[in-house]
Amino acid sequence: MRLYWEVAKRAFQRQLAYRTANLAGLTTNAFFGYVRAAVFVAAFTAQGEISGYDLRAAITYTWITQALIMVVMLWGWWDVAATITTGQVVSDLSKPFSYLGFWLARDVGRALYFLMFRAGPIMLVGELLFDLRWPRSSDVWLCFAGSLVLANLVSFGCRFLINLSAFWLTDAKGVGALVFTSIYFLSGLVVPLRLLPEGIQAVALALPFAGILQTPADVFLERVMGAELVTAVALQAFWAMALLVLSQVTLLAATRRLVVQGG
Amino acid sequence: MAVIFETGGIYRRLIGAHLRSQMQHKVSFVLRTLGTFAANFFDFAGIAVLFGRIPQLSGWSLPEVALLYGISSLCFATAELFGGALDNFDTVILQGTFDRVLLRPLDALFQVLTEEFALRRLGRMAQGGLVLGIALAQLPVSWTAGKVLFLAISLVSGTALFLGIFVLGAAYCFWIVQGKEATHVVTYGGDFMSNYPMDIYSHWLKRFATFVLPIGFVSYYPSLYLLERSDPFGLPDWFRLMGPVAAAAVCLAAWCAWRGGVSQYQSTGS
Amino acid sequence: MNGPPGPAGPVIRVQDLRKTFRVALHHRGALGAVRNLVERRFKEVRAVDGIGFAIQRGEMVGCLGPNGAGKSTTIKMLTGILTPSGGDVEVLGLSPQRKRKEVAARIGVVFGQRTQLWWDLPLIESLDLLRYVYRVPAERYRRNLDTFRALLDLDSFLNTPVRQLSLGQRMRGDLAASLLHDPEILYLDEPTIGLDVVAKHRMRDFLREINRERGVTVLLTTHDMADVEQLCSRLLIVDRGRLLYDGSLREIRDRLGTERTLVVDLTSGEGLDGSLNVPNAREVRADGPRRWLRFDRKDTTASDLIAAVASRYRLQDLTIEEPEIELIVRRIYEKGLDLTVPVKSAGATL
């Protein structure tokens, strides 16, 4: 257990070195947040409500999703696949700890850094530029924290599985990029999934990817309350577990394949 | 004139090497091109979904916004096709490979531009072109020869403008080597904001995007002209035609910045 | 050879060359990080501090110096990569800074650490691209390529991507690439670094060949004394941005390396306990009947010493060892040059 803590801590510290890059990335995220919010401001001039969101909620939605992009690391994570192509994975797998746990711990450390140094500042900028809708009670904050943790687990599971495809595919990045673009939309980043037409919306919300950004955002906004809230978070938890189990199973299959092939 | 042909020939050869090595891995090429097509498909899908819930955006209909999106997307993707190497320029400086550029009897910027020619960007170009085509088909534009010519010129000048911005971003790396991330606000940010009518932005941002970093001339002002809309902020009508002038200004600034950057490099080393 | 020879006079002329870098000093610690943002202090580093020399067409010159001596910086100024802070540089009668492209078309450069070739392309494609970059006529390209293929034995890896080549293969590729356009000057920066003995020999043979057959002026910087001894007629020694020595190898040996070592094999037995006792020489090493006697040519000649040894002991065999250039050069680095000795040899002109 101590090992995973150390791994997480080190991952956090490693990110600290990229101060300037973080600042620049933060500016980009914030600018995109501004543009998206401006679109909503214009959209709401004719009507006061769209799909259950009012203007303030919609603006907050854009800012919270922008803030969380780097926390859940929606795309561009190829660390595991890189070790597979270099072959380092072979020695990593023979170490006496959970491979999955190791990478998860690293991701937690990384995510915590971005929560503090990316999400925080972005929300601050959003609050300065617009009037955001913050959670009104500590219950909501608690639910949001839980939802965020689950969102990270779901995202990690997706990324991990996509990376593992490098064991079987020569061009894992090519295929993976295609999958990531779908995830990017289905997470609710481009537009809230609740704006989709009814039928498609139901499917989209049932998929694991909605749990990456849409659900935690909706929890934050109190767009989902009571029974809806429980369902949404439970669905997140279900997918998180399913993806992690699938990851572990796939990992075992990959390890067996390595042993058979001789590395 | 002979110099231009000769340079064109050299460019063709250098690019040809990239094309050959990319075409060798056909599956990979197809996947990645599909990837860029899909990524931008989803971007536009978001806009379409929004318009499923609202009738218009600040007085612009979906086909009109699609016109904005199509022009800016196509211009950006084409600029990326030719100038993609500029995004990795910070690596060139950091690893000292810029020395090699200075050792060859060719213009330095020209050489850097030939370092990459990623065919996968055709996916994004196709997507942008598709949206543009559908928008044009649906829009009640009274087409004249002048307008057609203007559209063609706008696409070229818009691409040149973006390319100039890429060069500015790369030149920035001569002074601040970790600068790549910072330039993304301007490049990707500029592209993103060009997808929407500038009416929705604050007054200062619109001024900035017109007079300081004239991103607005890529899709917004040309669209105003094609759709025969007047500028809601009261700028004169001939302003809408200034796309090529804006592009030329940006390219000039970019060229000066680049030259200054090379001088700086030669004086301080890597 | 390409066209008529250039104008008479040195192909490389350097006068009072200077290059000063401003290096930012970083404050340390947490408070220092904040101070770094507010005030920046700089330190001036004089990488090159008044170097002058002239190289004539067809010469093969070696440049020696410890790391950070200013060798690479000088080469970068000669090739137009860096602009001097002061002084004059003239290559083939042109300023490498003002006429970068013209000069680049007439020189070849090989950096030991970095390649000129395209990383992902097969070697032959790199060479083919360079043909267009340097505007080499098809016929000349073909001829040069065939020559280098034979001389450097390129055929076995001509179609391999450069990133998959071994260091030796890549160096051979770089050599071919640098000469495809028949440059008048070839600069090499640490060309034999990391190569095995065979590869080093092959490269030296090749360089000698192109210098002899094509009249290419060669300037190479190196740490390897063997490179210098086997290739260079003239030696520039640089340290701390200054030129310490500019002259021939022989002269450096003659003037500064007057010590020799006489190695004698004596018949074992009589009177061999303890060191040998011979005037004007001292024993520096012993291995049974074999003794190493160091003497200074200023004090005695080799033949006199041999006679002295033979008269006292029974001599079976002998050799004379020249001092290593290595030792001489190290002494120059450490003690600086003896200022009573003129720096430039009689042959060099400016």
pLDDT tens digit string along B66-106?
Answer: 999 999 999 999 999 999 999 989 888 888 889 999 999 99
Give the residue numbers spanning the domain of B205: 2-268
Whether A24 sits inside 8 A of B185 (CB atoms) is yes
| Residue to substitute from A47, A125, A185, interface B, most B β-carbons within 10 A | A185
Name the residue facing A31 among B38, B57, B185 (closest C-beta): B185
Total domains present in chain A: 1
Q: Give the Cα separation of B227 and B67 in Å (integer).
A: 10
Total domains present in chain B: 1
Say what the pLDDT of residue C339 is: 36
Chain C residues within 8 Å of chain B (Cβ atoms):
21-22, 73, 76, 79-83, 97, 100-102, 104-105, 109, 111, 114, 116, 118, 120-121, 125, 129, 132-135
- pLDDT of B114 > 80? The answer is yes
Q: Which fold has domain C258-322?
A: Alpha-Beta Plaits (3.30.70)
Nearest CA in chain B to C133: B10
Say what the pLDDT of residue C6 is: 54
Say what the pLDDT of residue C280 is: 84
Name which of C96, C11, C111 is nearest C54 in CA terms: C11
Q: Phi and psi (nearest 5°) for B98?
A: -70, -25
Residues 6+ apart with CB under 8 A from C120: B21, C161, C162, C163
Q: How far is CA A143 from the centre of its chain?
A: 17
- pLDDT of B48 > 60? The answer is yes
Q: Give the Cα separation of A35 and A37 in Å (integer).
A: 5
Whether B53 sits inside 8 A of A51 (CB atoms) is yes
Name which of C203, C219, C200 is nearest C151 in CA terms: C203
Say what the pLDDT of residue B7 is: 81
Strand C107-111 relative to strand C259-266, pairing: unpaired
- pLDDT of A70 > 70? The answer is yes
Say what the pLDDT of residue C17 is: 92
Say what the pLDDT of residue A215 is: 95
Residue with tokens 């970095």: C114
Residues of C in contact with B106 (CB under 8 A): 101, 133
Say what the pLDDT of residue C347 is: 36
User: Does domain C12-18+53-253 match CATH 3.40.50.300?
Assistant: yes
Say what the pLDDT of residue A110 is: 93
Say what the pLDDT of residue A5 is: 87
Say what the pLDDT of residue C341 is: 44
Contact C155, C202 (CB under 8 A): no
Q: Pick A93 or C332 by higher pLDDT.
A: A93
Whether C104 sits inside 8 A of B103 (CB atoms) is yes
Helix (H) or strand (E) holding C294, with range, is: strand C290-296
Whether B97 sits inside 8 A of C101 (CB atoms) is no
Q: Phi and psi (nearest 5°) for C324?
A: -75, 140
Say what the pLDDT of residue B141 is: 83
Burial of A245 (0-12, 13-18, 19+ CB in 10 A): exposed
Most distant CA atoms of chain A, gap in Å: 65
- pLDDT of B260 > 90? The answer is yes
Q: Which residues of C4-33 are buried (b: 16+ CB within 10 A; e: fewer)?
A: eeeeeebbbbbeebbbebeeeeeeeeeeee
Q: Give the Cα separation of C292 and C310 in Å (integer).
A: 14
Domain ranges of chain C: 12-18+53-253, 258-322
- Give whole-number Cα distances, C118 to B100, B116, C161, C349, in Å: 11, 12, 9, 40
Contact C77, C17 (CB under 8 A): yes
Burial of A182 (0-12, 13-18, 19+ CB in 10 A): middle
Residue A128 structure tokens? 């300065």
Say what the pLDDT of residue C342 is: 44
Whether A195 sits inside 8 A of B52 (CB atoms) is yes
**Amino acid sitting at position C324:** E
Q: Give the Cα separation of C53 and C10 in Å (integer).
A: 10
Q: CA of A5, closest CA in chain B: separation in Å?
A: 30
C-beta neighbour count of B147 within 10 angstroms: 14
A233-250: average pLDDT: 94
What band does B215 get if pLDDT is binned at 50, 70 and 90? very high
- pLDDT of B112 > 50? The answer is yes
Helix (H) or strand (E) holding C14, with range, is: strand C12-25
Residue C162 structure tokens? 């450069």
Say what the pLDDT of residue C270 is: 62
Domain C12-18+53-253 and domain C258-322, same fold? Reply is no
pLDDT > 70: percent of chain B: 99
Q: CA of A10, closest CA in chain B: separation in Å?
A: 23
Contact C21, C42 (CB under 8 A): no
Sheet holding C217-222, edge to edge: C107-111, C185-189, C217-222, C60-64, C234-239, C242-248
Strand partners of residue C46 = C20
Which DSSP symbol is given to C300?
Answer: -
- pLDDT of A214 > 70? The answer is yes
Which DSSP symbol is given to C163?
Answer: G
Residues 6+ apart with CB under 8 A from A78: A163, A173, A176
Residue B178 structure tokens? 């970790």
Say what the pLDDT of residue B164 is: 96
pLDDT tens sequence for chain C (350 residues): 444 555 567 889 999 999 988 877 766 665 656 666 666 677 888 889 889 999 999 999 999 887 778 888 999 999 999 999 999 999 999 999 999 999 999 999 998 788 999 888 899 999 999 999 999 999 999 999 999 999 888 999 999 999 899 988 999 999 999 999 999 999 999 888 888 888 888 889 999 999 999 999 999 998 777 888 888 889 898 888 888 888 887 777 776 667 788 888 888 766 667 778 888 888 888 888 888 888 888 788 888 888 888 888 888 899 988 766 666 777 776 665 553 344 443 333 32
Whether A42 sits inside 8 A of B57 (CB atoms) is yes
Q: CA of C348, closest CA in chain B: separation in Å?
A: 28
> Sign of the CA dihedral B149, B154, B157, B159?
negative
Name the residue facing A184 among B42, B50, B189 (closest C-beta): B42
